[in-house]
Structure 1
Amino acid sequence: MIAVLRVIFLLPLIILACIGGIFICLLRPFHRNNTYLMAQMLSKFAPLFGIKLIVRIPKDLTTSSKVIIANHQNNFDVVTICAGVTRGVVSLGKKSLIWVPFFGQLYWLSGNILIDRKNKTKAAGTIAQTAEKMLEGGLSVWIFPEGTRSRGRGLLPFKTGAFHTAIQANVDVIPVVMSSSENISLNRWNNGSLIIESLPPMPVAQMSKENVREWSKTAHSNMQQKLNELDDEVNELNKKTA
């Protein structure tokens, strides 16, 4: 019953928010801070899903260009991990997102970059274009290196595209981890806390095309460790508020 009420109440609100966001983006299409504004707007829906967000990311994280890598879990990411987006950030998403009603158009007009993952040649070209945009506009790019939603399967193996982008743009990589969200239920009033936290930078000066896979594995290991720590912390927090 709670799930039905949430869908009836929240779906129209989210659609209206997307339409409002589209209007704002039409006034300033592809502006460098559109993604930040839209992400902050969508994250305000998290409490309506019974989720308390705890964000531990410095606001000045992207005063200079960075490649940000984050774990990608499920559809709730739209209102959860987006709270960690800072100014001057665009994200890299699959090309098919453009066809999602309202959200897809908002995603595109916000200035995010669409990639055709099924075509390796086009995907490689998009990585090069992304690096060029970062160099020209001082942008940072947010990438989900798993390439898909994990859906409760833990942290999936990383693809190397984020690190190739960092090398081409000559910028550091910043890992961002959100605690596990697979237990969120539309049918529960209180879904507890989620923590979003950034890790120390991974210096591009030590990266090369030859060792990119090793850096990808190192990032995965560091993020898995942080994910375990955050899950333990969240479990303790949720016990206190149960």
Structure 2
Amino acid sequence: MILMCLVRPFHRNNVYVIGKVYGAIATMIGLKVQVNVPESVNNGGPFVFVANHQNSYDLITVCLSAQKGVVCVGKKSLVFIPVFGWLFWLSGNILIDRKNSGKAKDTLQQTIDKINQRKLSVFFFPEGTRSRGRGLLSFKTGAFRIAQAVNEPIVMVSTSNLHQKIELNRWNNGTLLIDLSEPVKVDKQLDAKAWAKEIHDTMKIKIAKLDNQVTQIDELK
């Protein structure tokens, strides 16, 4: 993957390709991931994707929801992680310096500019950290401010429970469901904080439904 990124650094579809490669690991550890993508998302864009962030296994599960033309937004410090950090940077993802509020604002504007100039989609984990079994945490407003600024819709990426689901010493780790919503137009009748709560509450309900579906699927096996 690094060789691919060296040949075509910052290509608009690097993240999409890498997501499929990482996603293959889920099958290797006995986890069946099913991703539902509506046609409006598969054939449209750009979008602002918002997903729940559970633990480090998201790297091999949620990545399967990545669509063509999408990049992620992450901490600048990721660059210093050998191999993974280099790959994250070369893939064309956007890096934010969270320790410097001025630079973070500049990066927010750069994100907006890249969406407008290159017609890119962006992928956010608006909780800002891994939930680790604590349920869906409250959302930060950055993704929603960007969606309003670029006048592009939000797509919710809801993933069923992954906390303590995977055990590497067994062949079958069950099913994981990922659902991408129909695009939601984020107008300016509500501010970013209100939209963050609205989307959060909708995703919380959806995740509960997915968890029930997983229980039914795994009980039949």
Q: 1:58 offset after TM fit, Å?
A: 3.5
1:94 Cα deviation after fit? 1.5
Partner letter of residue 88 of structure 2? Answer: Y
Unaligned residue ranges in structure 1 (runs of 5+): 1-20
- Aligned pair count? 219
Partner of 2:66: 85
Q: What do the CA deviations read for 1:21-40 (whole angstroms, capped 9, x no partner)?
A: 01001100000001100111
- Does the aligned pair in 2 maintain the 1:51–1:191 contact within 8 Å? yes
Distance change (3 Å), C-alpha of 1:24 and 1:59: farther
1:228 matched to 2:208? The reply is: yes
- Residue 189 of structure 1 deviates from its aligned partner by 2.2
The alpha carbon displacement at 1:103 in A equals 1.1
116-125 or 67-76, which moves further after superposition?
116-125
Give the deviation of 1:60 after TM superposition. 5.8
Indicate if the aligned counterparts of 1:59 and 1:86 stay in contact, CA closer than 8 A: no
Task: Confirm or deny: 8 A CA contact 1:30 1:109 kept in the other structure.
Answer: yes
Q: In structure 2, what residue type is equivalent to 1:203?
A: K
Q: Aligned partners of 2:38, 2:22: CA distance in 1, in Å?
A: 19
CA distance in 2, matches of 1:23, 1:104: 14
TM-score, scaled relative to structure 2: 0.94
For 2:182, which of 187, 196, 200 is the aligned residue?
Answer: 200
Matched residue, 1:186: 168
Structure 2: 5+ residue stretches without partners: none
Compute the RMSD of aligned alpha carbons: 1.4
Distance 1:59 1:126 in 2: 31
Q: How big is the shift at 1:64?
A: 2.2
What fraction of aligned residue pairs are identical, expressed as a percent?
46
Distance 1:217 1:227 in 2: 15
CA drift of 1:121 comes to 2.3
Report what 2:2 is aligned to. 22
Deviations 1:187-215 (A, max 9, x none): 332110001101222213x236x621111
Deviation, structure 1 residue 59:
6.2
Say which SS state the counterpart of residue 125 (structure 1) adopts. Answer: helix
* Structure 1 segments (4+ residues) deviating >6 Å: none
Change (3 A) 1:44 1:118: same
